[in-house]
Amino acid sequence: AQRAAMLSSLRAAEVRAKVKTRYQHPGELAAACDHSYKLTPALDLIGTAIEEVLTSPYKINLLITMPPQEGKSTTGSVWTPLRALQLNPNRRVILATYADALAEMHSRSARNMIETHGTGVYDKLTGMTAPDRVGLKLAAGNSKVSHWGVEGGNGGLLAAGIGSAITGMPAD
């Protein structure tokens, strides 16, 4: 069992290494996986700023303000956690929003992208292995909508609304 887990972890790391260099920021990942996502100049700028936060060795804070329906919530709450986990599968992400339902909706979307475009996914029509665009696979037995992990690392996502219990849950 340990040998199988180690092989699985090494395979996941190999795929993730290839996939994470394919994209320069979360917006490019989104455009590759979701054809309805339009990478506008504004979202490209946001994606570049987010990538700087994710890859900086220093603590950087980022505040994004734009009019409604520009794509900032989807970029920040679905694609950024996926990108963070691509870059480091040990990252522990807490997705906190004003309501549990919204946090879970974004978490479900991110999790669905792993299930649709991640490692080891088979095309339902042909039965062939689908292209891995994300480089992540959900950890077995750890895939609730509100709290899931990724294979090959100790990281994952916890989705919570205001008033939810996140005490004792570590985050990066």
Tens digit of each residue's pLDDT (9 = 90 or more) over 31-51: 999 999 999 999 999 999 999
Helix (H) or strand (E) holding 65: none
27 exposure class (CB count in 10 Å sphere: 0-12, 13-18, 19+): buried
Q: For residue 133, give the 3-state DSSP assignment.
A: coil
pLDDT at 107 over 90: yes
- H helices of the chain, in order, are 2-20, 26-33, 41-55, 72-74, 80-87, 100-117
pTM over 0.75: yes
Average pLDDT score, the chain: 89
pLDDT at 149: 93
